Amino acid sequence: MAEKFKFQKIKKIHCNEVAKIHYKELSDGILSLFGQSYLNHFYEQMTNERGWGYVVLKDKKVAGFIFSENKDINKLGLIRPSDMGMIIINLLLKPKFIINILFSAFISRFYDSADSGKNVSIISQFAVSKCYQSKGYGKRLLKLFENESRKRSFKTILTSTHNMNLRNFYISEKRIKKEIVIPNIGFKNFIISWEL
């Protein structure tokens, strides 16, 4: 039987599966530090008019997603007491997160300098489950994101990643307008933008 894939706007019912993919595929990111339960709560809150995006579904199960959030959202304000145990465990097991947290505060200055104003649509999270990568689903999610950004009158896409494969994907797929490379301990962070 052929695999059936469907693309649609992200909804609250997708949040748990999106959180699982985020936690697994974006495990080196700051948000993953807070655990899968936090991520589920985060996406539920973000889909309540604070963010938008798309999912790719395989037989009604999320296989990947792309998401834009309101950049002035207080992510720390979404931490619940039940999330604190996971944070402590991750900080003990992965001390590089402490450096990354401090670095993310520093990098936000560069991120804001790359943002040229209100005409910028920001990709905040983007991931496809490993077993579905390199099949064109990421390209389709990105195209849907760009089309929605145009409908919302955005002129530029902006994103940040330390994933070299994702950075290379953007470089190969888009006419990059600007790229800022910021070194960090163990990796580089790429802030990338292109015009729609």
Which of 41, 20, 15, 26 lies closest to 123, judged by CA?
Answer: 26
List the single range of 32-36, 48-52, 139-143, 164-168 with lowest mean pLDDT.
Answer: 48-52
The answer on pLDDT for 10 being more than 50 is yes
Mean pLDDT throughout 89-101?
A: 69
The pLDDT of residue 149 is 95
Alpha carbon 142 to its chain's center: 12
Question: What's the CA gap between 127 and 157, in Å, rounded?
Answer: 17
More confident residue, 26 or 97: 26
The pLDDT of residue 108 is 56
Question: What's the CA gap between 148 and 32, in Å, rounded?
Answer: 27
Q: What type of residue is 89?
A: I
The answer on pLDDT for 98 being more than 70 is no
The pLDDT of residue 1 is 40
Mean pLDDT value across the chain: 83
Mean pLDDT throughout 110-127?
A: 73
Q: Residue 42 is encoded by which pair of tokens?
A: 């985060």
Question: What's the CA gap between 54 and 66, in Å, rounded?
Answer: 5
Mean pLDDT throughout 73-78?
A: 72
pLDDT band at 182 (very low <50, low <70, confident <90, very high): confident
Question: What's the CA gap between 159 and 53, in Å, rounded?
Answer: 14
DSSP class per residue in 48-85: TTTEEEEEEEETTEEEEEEEEE-TT--SGGG--GGGHH
The answer on pLDDT for 157 being more than 80 is yes
